[in-house]
Amino acid sequence: MSGCVRCGLPENYAGIKLDEQGVCNYCHFYDEHKAELTDFEALEKKFAAEIEKVKEKAKENGAKYDCIVGVSGGKDGAYITYQLKHKYGMRVLTYTLDNGFSTDFGKNNIANLLDKLDVDHIRITVNESQLRGHYSACMKLMHNFCSVCFHLCHYYSHLLASQYKIPLIVNGRTHMQVLQAADSTKGIEPFEISRNLADFEYQMFGRLVEKMAKTKRLDYLPEAEVTSLSYFMYHDVTDEEKMAFLQEKIGWNRPKSTVPHPDCWAHHIAEKCSIEKLGYPVRTGELAVFAREGSMLVEESIAEREKDTEYFSTVDPELEARFYERIKKR
């Protein structure tokens, strides 16, 4: 499969446009804004300034908490929670969306995090029939069910913010996830920061939001003044640095394998869905960002994508049956 000669994105990647030299629009966007996207000293100052604003807003609201963070037992939410509490002095409310896909690894790390950091936590459960409706509607639109979980987390985090008058949601999207399909500053941090659910949905899903809003399965909140920040767009931290830090500070358990998302037992099926529907695995866009930034050769990016494709193309039949029984979809 041909594609961008610079980052290795395949030619059928969502929204890709190749110039005469075979370089994609996402690479051109990165080159144009590289200085702003990689000056982490300035970005961290911008983040800190936003933090001070929301602290004042929380006081004005009479809120018990300054911010909300979603935790699944993975490294990103745990790292963010620790830093927000100890580095930025914030009162953090954590939450977990219980979609039925959590692993023992994830559950144990959540319990350890809450014990060591002494932060409040809310476990969100969704009505079974409603949950299945969400998965059915979103899978038709987005081809992989990870988007369903993203949408539900964003929806319920805004709902909690509205209920508890919390002015800030901090999410764990990495800069690779934010930049994998960015060719405009619209809806992209740090150029535009979302201040309500509608802004954030556009950040995440772009024009798909219009289709999502038309599905009867998806409910939307009224406008609420809630800022959302992607922590790792403003802080340059590698995955290894996150895990080493958490091990030292709170005794966080490392995953035993390098397979992505050890906190979700259904992730393998999400990868297979992406390969079957789109022709490439979930991590494709993120790998391209590594090549775009120069931390990985384009050949290495493509090789990693091919390894993912081979590994995730087959799924244990029992696991697959368990998943489809969970969402009642064949």
For 272-283, the pLDDT digits (tens) are: 988 988 889 989
What are φ and ψ of residue 109, in 5° steps?
Answer: -70, -35
Residues 63, 56 contacting (CB under 8 angstroms): no
Whether the pLDDT of residue 330 is over 50: the answer is no
Whether the pLDDT of residue 184 is over 90: the answer is no
Q: What is the pLDDT of residue 269?
A: 87
Average pLDDT over residues 4-21: 94
d(CA 137, CA 139): 6
**DSSP-H helix ranges across the chain:** 25-38, 40-61, 75-86, 104-117, 128-142, 146-164, 175-179, 197-205, 208-214, 239-250, 267-278, 284-293, 298-312, 317-327
d(CA 324, CA 147): 16
Contacting residues for 307 by C-beta, under 8 A, at least 6 apart? none
Whether the pLDDT of residue 209 is over 90: the answer is no
Q: What is the pLDDT of residue 266?
A: 87
- pTM here is 0.89
Residues 176, 289 contacting (CB under 8 angstroms): yes
Average pLDDT over residues 159-176: 91
Which strand (E) or helix (H) includes residue 253?
Answer: none
d(CA 217, CA 160): 20
Q: Domain 40-250 is of which CATH architecture?
A: 3-Layer(aba) Sandwich (3.40)
Average pLDDT over residues 196-224: 53
CA distances from 57 to 63, 163, 225 (A): 9, 15, 10
Whether the pLDDT of residue 178 is over 90: the answer is no
pLDDT interval class at 190 (50, 70, 90): confident
Where does CATH 3.40.50.620 sit in the chain?
40-250
Residues 82, 117 contacting (CB under 8 angstroms): yes
